[in-house]
């Protein structure tokens, strides 16, 4: 008789780099394998909903191609020939090479490089403890959030806003520059609830007819990098038509009269010429949010990945201030809840042993750093050793041709700790196999919600995989780095960190699985004032002195607009490069992850270029034809897909596909620049001018 397999349903948290940070219910089969993954119904933001790619996580965690043993390169760099080695041998060799490099060039020659492959606080940020204890070069994390966060904080003074669950209580949800259906499905869940239960209108502002725009009542398909112009014209109409809340403005804003005067010339006609929208649509948008005080502005990352992105985020955020939406339940502006967690990361990151004189290198400029650009190296020693966890820069970083040239350097010793043989791992000298989230303990926070969540180990890892924490501690012991955090388990670190941050104990968190830390209504809606000394929202930001500075303002920061405006600094199309390219996230991949799972690969197909049918016809491109796009950074091959839901002159390459999925091996980031976006850096992934031709 066949016994039924034992299936337990266990709580966990999605660790991926996604604002939704979903609370999960995982089927664990015979304590060894996982089955279906579902959204937890008892966590009120997730509310039982998760994306399809994580629902089928068994495909990723039990993938036959997972790395399970340490590997040493035996062929030339990137050739793909490896010999398995033992962990002790691997760690001894890494330590010896790091110490050699340090003796030759000083400790700053070693660069620990990481990002958010897992968002667990211990496994993501623990690498900084080693960095600080050893005085290795620091990393200024600019690849994702810098423009968006800087732009938001420039207005409110704080990265936080009305409870994201209030979206369901809005009369209008404005989904601006985020393709939420693809990138954070829970936003749609709460917005649709508002539509169903309250008749809320959904407005989507984007540059192509993506899956989110398909759900919109009012679809605003504008030209890339023109959101500041749209915001100005909307506010012009609000003042002009008596829809500005003047009492609110007098109490809560810095200079409403100055703003109104500034906007006098920012008419809908002016904005229509810049954005490509119709005057009627701009007026309709203004009247909608002017009439519905409960308008929730859910502002995403996508529209900030432009060279004027920080300014445009601030401009969009000014609208709910002009209408006074902040004062109403279901109203206001929201981007991310980073500020509400007040983590004390001393133990995780070793902040008590940090030397602030040590140089900090720009994550997005890794190509320039590794190819010896003196400015990018901050005029310090070359980087001759890399320790990489949680990120895949050979695929995801801009200026890919430079990145590849850097990784190919014979005098660079590269260690990559990974789950799969990624484009980056393929360039390593030593590859170490990493655990996945269900194989180790960690704590998580929501960016798009307000829960602190515990994700405990549920199954054993395959082969010899070790967690990031284990690797960092083992290296610390061999490198002579001293810190209490190297002697503790992840659970001990989490417990101490929770307590130091005012979030109770780990025991208490485990008993509940998740902890709701949303500030109260008055604080969330800034009813006692915005987070500036005078308590007023800033229509006129002090850009160069806003918080979030790490390296200091960029060269053009001083030229940023005083009041919200259209700041024309994007990479404009010209005769030589007539198209504007955006590299928007695909639904079935998550950055560079999931591009190894068969279902995601099958659903996405080969790398495609969405192009307006008339542009395609002018270039002689039929559906499915090979196409090459390029600029002075390089050229990339894709498959043409004529698509009506685009403006002429705009092309979209959804990704990220592995570099090798493109014929010739040049990934899409070959075309993206790494020049630092004003005022404090960041990468303009959706702001690229290219030529296109049939091949």
Ligand X SMILES: Nc1nc2c(c(=O)[nH]1)N[C@H]1C(S)=C(S)[C@@H](COP(=O)(O)OP(=O)(O)OC[C@H]3O[C@@H](n4cnc5c(=O)[nH]c(N)nc54)[C@H](O)[C@@H]3O)O[C@H]1N2
Instruction: Please give the full DSSP string across 96-126, using - where no structure is assigned.
Output: HHHHHHHHHH-GGGEEEEE--SS--HHHHHT
φ and ψ of 48, to 5 deg: 80, 0
Closer to ligand X at the Cβ: 151 or 585? 585
Measure the CA–CA gap between 53 and 600, rounded to whole angstroms.
7
Sign of CA pseudo-dihedral 66, 67, 73, 77: positive
Q: Which stretch binds ligand X (CB under 6 A): 22-30, 202-210, 250-258, 635-643?
A: 202-210
In the complex, minimum distance from the CB of residue 363 to Mo ion, in angstroms, rounded to a whole number: 11
**Which parts of this chain interact with ligand SF4 (CB under 6 A)?**
14, 16, 18, 20-22, 50-51, 54, 184-185, 590
Closer to ligand X at the Cβ: 252 or 589? 589
Q: Which stretch binds ligand X (CB under 6 A): 31-39, 384-392, 406-414, 527-535?
A: 384-392
Measure the CA–CA gap between 211 and 184, rounded to whole angstroms.
12
Closer to ligand SF4 at the Cβ: 51 or 319? 51
In the complex, minimum distance from the CB of residue 320 to ligand SF4, in angstroms, rounded to a whole number: 25
In the complex, minimum distance from the CB of residue 331 to ligand SF4, in angstroms, rounded to a whole number: 25
Asked if 18 is part of the footprint of Mo ion (rule: CB under 5 A), the reply reads no
In the complex, minimum distance from the CB of residue 124 to ligand SF4, in angstroms, rounded to a whole number: 15
Closer to ligand X at the Cβ: 306 or 384? 306
109 binds, among ligand X, Mo ion, ligand SF4, none (CB under 5 to 8 A by kind): none
Asked if 438 is part of the footprint of Mo ion (rule: CB under 5 A), the reply reads no
- How many residues of this chain bind ligand X (CB under 6 A)? 59
Asked if 323 is part of the footprint of ligand X (rule: CB under 6 A), the reply reads no
In this structure, are residues 430 and 70 in contact, taking their beta carbons and an 8 Å threshold? Answer: yes
- Which member of 23, 119, 141, 144 binds Mo ion (CB under 5 A)? 144
Helices 227-240 & 256-263 angle (0-180, nearest 10):
110
Write out the binding residues for ligand X, residues 570-629 only, by CB under 6 A: 582-587, 589-593
In the complex, minimum distance from the CB of residue 455 to ligand X, in angstroms, rounded to a whole number: 11
466: helix, coil or strand?
strand
* Interstrand relation of 110-114 and 172-176 (parallel, antiparallel or unpaired): unpaired
Closest-CB residue for Mo ion? 144
- H or E stretch at 507: helix 506-512
Residue 25: CB partners within 8 Å, gap ≥ 6?
9, 10, 11, 12, 37, 38, 39, 40, 41
Asked if 686 is part of the footprint of ligand X (rule: CB under 6 A), the reply reads yes
φ and ψ of 454, to 5 deg: -100, 130
Asked if 688 is part of the footprint of ligand X (rule: CB under 6 A), the reply reads no
Asked if 656 is part of the footprint of ligand X (rule: CB under 6 A), the reply reads yes
Strands (E), 369-496: 385-389, 413-418, 430-433, 442-445, 451-455
Judging by beta carbons within 10 Å of its beta carbon (0-12, 13-18, 19+), is residue 64 exposed, middle or buried?
A: exposed
In the complex, minimum distance from the CB of residue 688 to Mo ion, in angstroms, rounded to a whole number: 17
452 binds, among ligand SF4, ligand X, Mo ion, none (CB under 5 to 8 A by kind): none
* Interstrand relation of 626-631 and 634-642 (parallel, antiparallel or unpaired): antiparallel
Closer to ligand SF4 at the Cβ: 20 or 306? 20
Closer to ligand X at the Cβ: 301 or 343? 301
569: helix, coil or strand?
coil
Mark 227-266 with x for binding to ligand X (rule: CB under 6 A) and - for no binding: x---------------------------------------
Asked if 418 is part of the footprint of ligand X (rule: CB under 6 A), the reply reads yes
* Interstrand relation of 385-389 and 172-176 (parallel, antiparallel or unpaired): unpaired
| Matching residue, tokens 């600019």 | 142
Measure the CA–CA gap between 164 and 515, rounded to whole angstroms.
15
Give the interface with Mo ion as residue ranges (CB under 5 A).
Answer: 144
User: Which residues of the chain form contacts with ligand X (CB under 6 A)?
Assistant: 17-18, 115-118, 123, 143-144, 177-179, 182-184, 205-208, 210, 224-225, 227, 300-303, 305-306, 389-392, 396, 417-420, 422, 434, 468, 582-587, 589-593, 655-656, 668-669, 672, 685-686
């Amino acid at each position: 008789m066949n016994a039924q397999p034992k299936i337990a349903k266990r709580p966990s948290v999605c660790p991926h780099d996604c604002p939704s940070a979903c609370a999960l219910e995982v089927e664990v089969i015979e304590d060894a394998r996982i089955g279906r993954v579902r959204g937890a119904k008892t966590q009120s933001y997730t509310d039982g909903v998760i994306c399809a790619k994580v629902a089928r996580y068994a495909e990723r965690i039990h993938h036959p191609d997972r790395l399970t043993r340490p590997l040493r390169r035996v062929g030339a760099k990137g050739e793909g020939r490896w010999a398995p080695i033992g962990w002790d041998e691997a760690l001894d060799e890494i330590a010896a090479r790091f110490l050699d490099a340090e003796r030759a060039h000083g400790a700053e020659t070693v660069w620990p490089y990481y990002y958010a492959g897992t968002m667990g606080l211990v496994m993501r940020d623990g690498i900084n403890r080693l960095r600080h204890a050893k005085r290795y070069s620091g990393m200024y994390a600019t690849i994702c959030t810098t423009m968006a966060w800087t732009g938001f904080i420039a207005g409110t003074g704080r990265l936080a806003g009305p409870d994201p669950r209030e979206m369901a209580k809005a009369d209008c949800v404005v989904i601006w520059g985020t393709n939420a259906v693809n990138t954070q499905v829970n936003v749609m869940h709460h917005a649709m609830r508002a539509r169903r239960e309250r008749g809320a209108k959904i407005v989507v502002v984007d540059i192509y007819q993506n899956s989110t725009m398909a759900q919109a009542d009012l679809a605003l398909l504008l030209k890339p990098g023109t959101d500041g112009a749209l915001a100005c014209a909307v506010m012009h109409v609000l003042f002009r038509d008596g829809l500005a809340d003047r009492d609110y403005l007098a109490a809560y804003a810095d200079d409403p009269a100055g703003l109104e005067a500034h906007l006098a010339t920012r008419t809908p006609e002016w904005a229509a010429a810049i954005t490509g929208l119709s005057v009627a649509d701009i007026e309709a948008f203004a009247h909608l949010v002017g009439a519905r005080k409960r308008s929730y502005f859910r502002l995403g990352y996508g529209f900030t990945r432009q060279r004027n992105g920080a300014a445009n985020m601030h401009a969009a955020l000014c609208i709910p201030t002009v209408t006074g939406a902040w004062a109403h339940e279901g109203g206001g502006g929201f981007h991310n809840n980073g500020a509400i967690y007040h983590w004390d990361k001393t133990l995780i990151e070793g902040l008590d042993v940090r030397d602030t004189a040590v140089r900090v290198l720009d994550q997005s400029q890794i190509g320039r750093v590794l190819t010896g650009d003196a400015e990018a190296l901050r005029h310090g020693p070359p980087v001759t050793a890399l320790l990489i966890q949680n990120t895949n820069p050979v695929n995801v970083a801009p200026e890919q041709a430079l990145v590849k040239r850097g990784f190919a350097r014979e005098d660079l010793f590269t260690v990559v700790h990974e789950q799969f043989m990624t484009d980056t791992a393929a360039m390593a000298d030593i590859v170490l196999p990493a655990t996945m989230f269900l194989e180790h303990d960690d704590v998580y926070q929501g960016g798009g919600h307000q829960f602190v969540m515990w994700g405990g180990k549920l199954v054993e890892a395959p082969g010899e995989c070790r967690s990031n924490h284990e690797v960092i501690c083992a290296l610390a012991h061999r490198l002579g780095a001293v810190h209490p955090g190297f002697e503790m388990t992840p659970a001990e670190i989490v417990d101490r960190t929770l307590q130091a941050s005012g979030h109770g104990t780990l025991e208490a968190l485990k008993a509940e699985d998740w902890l709701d830390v949303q500030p109260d209504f008055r604080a969330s809606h800034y009813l006692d004032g915005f987070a500036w000394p005078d308590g007023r929202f800033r229509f006129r930001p002090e850009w160069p002195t806003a918080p979030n500075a790490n390296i200091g303002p960029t060269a053009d920061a001083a030229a940023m607009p005083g009041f919200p405006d259209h700041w024309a600094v994007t990479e404009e199309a010209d005769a030589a490069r007539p198209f504007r390219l955006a590299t928007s996230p695909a639904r079935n991949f998550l950055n560079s992850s999931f591009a190894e799972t068969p279902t995601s690969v099958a659903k996405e197909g080969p790398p495609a270029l969405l192009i307006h049918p008339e542009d395609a016809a002018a270039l002689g491109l039929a559906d499915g034809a090979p196409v090459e796009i390029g600029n002075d950074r390089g050229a990339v091959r894709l498959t043409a897909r004529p698509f009506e839901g685009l403006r002429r002159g705009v092309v979209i390459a959804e990704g990220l596909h592995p570099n090798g999925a493109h014929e010739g091996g040049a990934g899409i980031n070959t075309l993206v620049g790494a020049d630092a976006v004003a005022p404090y850096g960041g990468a303009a992934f959706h702001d690229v001018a290219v030529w296109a031709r049939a091949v």
